[in-house]
């Protein structure tokens, strides 16, 4: 096992322990986190909008942190946060704040998958590991983009799958950075219900991307 592979679980575990201790040692913070998660669970857009407004400037940081929590604690709904953020800070600024949080959460999910899921994956069927790794890596990369075409779907699981796969972190980060922002902007501008009415061509496009990914992985 390479040094970087041994170091990753230690780093991720250290970060998770630090975050958990902060949650325990600062009751006022834990109350805010619990309140936010409760509003997320109940799709309370109005409550989140009032919450972010009441915080003032720190509300911008709260948006990004909430989006990161949503990604890690899937399947909490993300459109709620995006619409609340856009309602308080405007479509563009609100979307950028939400996007920053999504990227942060995606990085955390990738780290968790790489630290804890990858060692288990490597132990499953050592024969033909290289072919299986290539297939899984390409499939996950295509899923990252394909799920962007299905607004409102719980696609945070893909973040964990990317960490389990052999995908390089740089490739994963670029895919997340460029695929997330357009969907977040659309959700902020039109809302989830309107996007769900879009022609079924999006479904077909997602299916084509997945099929192409499977085909490329086996070549």
Average pLDDT over residues 119-131: 65
Q: Is 218 exposed, middle or buried (CB count within 10 Å of its CB: 0-12, 13-18, 19+)?
A: exposed
122 vs 153, residue with greater confidence: 122
Does the pLDDT at position 157 exceed 70? yes
Domain ranges of the chain: 3-218
Tell the residue number behind the tokens 């959460």, with chain if given. 105
Rounded-to-integer distance, Cα 163 and Cα 75, Å: 18
Does the pLDDT at position 150 exceed 70? no
Model confidence band, residue 129 (pLDDT cutoffs 50, 70, 90): low
Q: Return the closest-CA partner of residue 141 out of 58, 218, 209.
A: 209
- What is the chain's mean pLDDT, rounded? 78
Q: Which pLDDT score, from 0 to 100, does residue 59 have?
A: 93
Model confidence band, residue 139 (pLDDT cutoffs 50, 70, 90): low
CA distances from 60 to 32, 37, 95, 104 (A): 15, 17, 11, 14
How many whole angstroms from its chain centre is CA 50? 24
Rounded-to-integer distance, Cα 108 and Cα 202, Å: 28
Contact 132, 125 (CB under 8 A): yes
pTM, two decimals, is: 0.78
pLDDT tens figures, 176-201? 888 888 888 888 887 654 445 444 44
């Amino acid at each position: 096992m390479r040094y970087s592979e041994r170091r990753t679980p230690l780093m991720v575990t250290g970060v998770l322990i630090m975050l958990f201790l902060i949650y325990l040692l600062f009751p006022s913070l834990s109350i805010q986190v619990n309140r936010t998660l409760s509003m997320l669970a109940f799709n309370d857009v109005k409550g989140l909008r009032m919450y972010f407004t009441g915080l003032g400037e720190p509300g911008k940081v709260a948006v990004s942190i909430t989006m990161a929590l949503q990604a890690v604690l899937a399947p909490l709904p993300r459109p709620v946060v995006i619409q609340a953020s856009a309602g308080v800070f405007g479509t563009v600024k609100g979307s950028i704040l939400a996007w920053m949080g999504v990227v942060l959460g995606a990085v955390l999910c990738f780290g968790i998958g790489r630290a804890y899921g990858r060692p288990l994956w490597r132990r499953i069927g050592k024969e033909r590991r290289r072919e299986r790794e290539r297939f899984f890596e390409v499939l996950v990369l295509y899923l990252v983009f394909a799920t962007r075409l299905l607004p409102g779907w719980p696609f945070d699981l893909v973040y964990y799958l990317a960490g389990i796969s052999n995908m390089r972190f740089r490739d994963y980060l670029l895919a997340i950075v460029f695929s997330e922002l357009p969907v977040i902007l659309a959700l902020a501008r039109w809302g989830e219900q309107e996007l769900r009415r879009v022609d079924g061509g999006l479904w077909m496009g997602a299916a084509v991307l997945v099929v192409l990914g499977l085909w490329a992985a086996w070549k």
